[in-house]
Amino acid sequence: MTTPSAEIVEEELRDKDAHGSVKDAAINFTAGSLGGIAGVYVGQPLDTVKVKMQAFPQLYTNMFKCLSDTYRKDGIWRGLYAGTIPAVVANVAENSVLFAGYGTMQSIAAQIVGVKSPKELPSLANACCGSAAAFFCALTLCPTELIKCKLQAMRETGAKRVCETTGQKVPWTPYALTAHVIRTEGFKGMFRGLGSTMIREMAGYFFFFGGYELTRELLTPPGKTKEEIGIGRTIVSGGIGGMTLWTVIFPFDVVKSRVQIQGSDAGVVTVIKEIYTKEGERHLFDSGLPIQSLPPDGVPRL
């Protein structure tokens, strides 16, 4: 999941007015996508560490150990930057769907609430619009994030070792791994973890857009509009929205990582209850659930 930058959201809100310019919207979307791609390449090593610690806390007690072990054993491209291509695809897909969906939901909400422009929507309405748009984001994100997480945890699940000892070619590429999943699990295998992804996205963007818009309102000087608060206040608003988002969604992100990496069929509520009862509530917000390296049947899944 990628958190939209405050500047991008600001431009989207401005250009999603009923009479907005299509050209400006296209420019803003392109800029947002390019910025998101750059963000992926900068943050991918940390995302790899996050996923590994969520799924294998018994192996990695802290982020520095995870970083050093991953670099030493797997290198840069097949270690720290594993799953980068699916992450880029996910970022662009999320930007496009969220960009179109949020504006559409705002237009519908404006008619329901009875205001002339989406700019006049209250913060709660914007939060609901973001959440509704995120429903469609989840459908595009789930398959790409599944491949990303599997590539990131190729060694920890034992899949790399099994392929090497049996003479099989390790499916390092997103295409090869996608083909393997579809061949062994069917097309539905690409949507494993959809429930937790959907909850994560919808809850996350409800709080992101709600926190972002509410902060903009609170930081708006008397006599000015939210569009006139300037870059500094906009960045602060986006930062608060992002922190609110991740605080709320982290437990569901832990569940998603576990389910997708392990090939588990357990439901979201079942996994959360297991974490809470066996490990305590703090494990929903730190490294995650100490799961086994192999599924119950003992066969590593790619």
At 16, list the tokens: 């999603």
pLDDT tens by residue, 195-236: 999 999 999 889 988 889 899 988 988 888 888 888 888 889
pLDDT tens by residue, 148-172: 999 999 888 876 666 666 667 777 7
The percent of residues in the chain predicted with pLDDT above 70, rounded, is 78
For residues 239, 287, 277 and 154, what is the CA-based torsion angle, rounded to 10 degrees?
Answer: 120
Average pLDDT over all residues of the chain: 80
Residues 6+ apart with CB under 8 A from 187: none
What SS3 class is residue 17? coil
Instruction: Give me the pLDDT at residue 116, please.
Output: 84
What SS3 class is residue 242? helix
- Can you tell me the mean pLDDT for 169-189? 87
Instruction: Give me the pLDDT at residue 280, please.
Output: 67
pLDDT bin (cut points 50, 70, 90) of residue 62 is confident
DSSP single-letter state for residue 297:
T
Question: In terms of pLDDT, which residue wins out, 293 or 9?
Answer: 9
- How far is Cα 173 from Cα 166, in angstroms, rounded to an integer? 19
Question: In terms of pLDDT, which residue wins out, 241 or 169?
Answer: 241
pLDDT tens by residue, 265-274: 778 888 888 8
Residues 6+ apart with CB under 8 A from 95: 2, 4, 29, 32, 33, 36
Instruction: Give me the pLDDT at residue 150, please.
Output: 92
pLDDT bin (cut points 50, 70, 90) of residue 290 is very low
Instruction: Please tell me the number of Cα atoms within 13 Å of 69 on its side-chain side.
Output: 16
- How far is Cα 291 from Cα 59, in angstroms, rounded to an integer? 10
DSSP single-letter state for residue 53:
H
DSSP single-letter state for residue 193:
T
Instruction: Give me the pLDDT at residue 200, please.
Output: 92
Instruction: Give me the pLDDT at residue 93, please.
Output: 82
Question: In terms of pLDDT, which residue wins out, 283 or 95?
Answer: 95
DSSP single-letter state for residue 80:
I
Instruction: Give me the pLDDT at residue 95, please.
Output: 78
Residue 74 Cα to chain centre, angstroms: 24
